A = this chain, B = another copy of it.
Amino acid sequence: MADGCSKGRSFMIPFFLCFGSTMAQCKGTVVLAYSGGLDTSCILVWLKEQGYDVIAYLANIGQKEDFEAARKKALALGAKKVYIEDVSREFVESFIWPAVQANALYEDRYLLGTALARPCIARGLVGIAQQERAPYIAHGATGKGNDQVRFELSCYALCPKIKVVAPWRLPEFYQRFPGRCELMDYAKKHGIPVPVTPQTPWSMDENLMHISYEAGILENPKNQAPPGLYTKTCDPANSPDTPDVLEIEFERGVPVKVTNTGDGATRSSALELFVYLNDIAGKHGVGRIDIVENRFVGMKSRGIYETPAGTILYHAHLDIEAFTMDREVRKIKQGLSLKFSELVYNGFWHSPECEFLRECIGRSQEPVVGTVRLSVFKGHVYILGRESPRSLYNEELVSMNVQGDYEPADATGFININSLRLKEYHRLQSKVTVKQDE
Contact = CB atoms under 8 A, between A and B. Distances in A.
Interface in A356-409: 356-357, 359-360, 363-364, 367, 373, 377-380, 382-387, 390-395, 397-401, 405-409
A415 B411 CA distance: 10
Contacts of A179: 401
Contact of A171 (B149, B373, B406, B409): B409
B419 A156 contact: yes
A430 B158 CA distance: 11
A356 B332 contact: yes
A410 B408 contact: no
Contacts of A424: 298-299, 392, 394, 397
A418 B156 CA distance: 10
Interface residues of A, number: 139
Contact of A420 (B168, B299, B352, B401): B299
Contact of A379 (B174, B380, B405): B380
B411 A322 contact: no
Given A332-B336, A377-B236, A434-B3, A417 B419 contact: no
Interface in A267-326: 288-295, 297-302, 318-319, 322-323, 326
A2 B422 CA distance: 12
A328 interface: yes
A330 interface: yes
A181 to B, nearest CB: 11
B107 A330 contact: yes
B332 A426 contact: no
A398 B301 contact: yes
A89 interface: no
Contacts of A428: 367, 390-392
Interface in A133-153: 142-144, 148-149, 152-153
Contact of A398 (B299, B391, B400): B299
Given A169-B412, A219-B399, A428-B392, A339 B332 contact: yes
Contacts of A338: 334-335
Contacts of A148: 411, 415
Which 3 A-B residue pairings sit nearest by Cβ, starting from the closest?
A413-B413, A143-B408, A298-B420
18 contacts: A2-B426, A143-B411, A153-B419, A156-B423, A179-B401, A216-B400, A222-B385, A224-B373, A290-B385, A292-B393, A297-B414, A300-B398, A301-B398, A302-B393, A302-B398, A351-B421, A351-B425, A410-B416
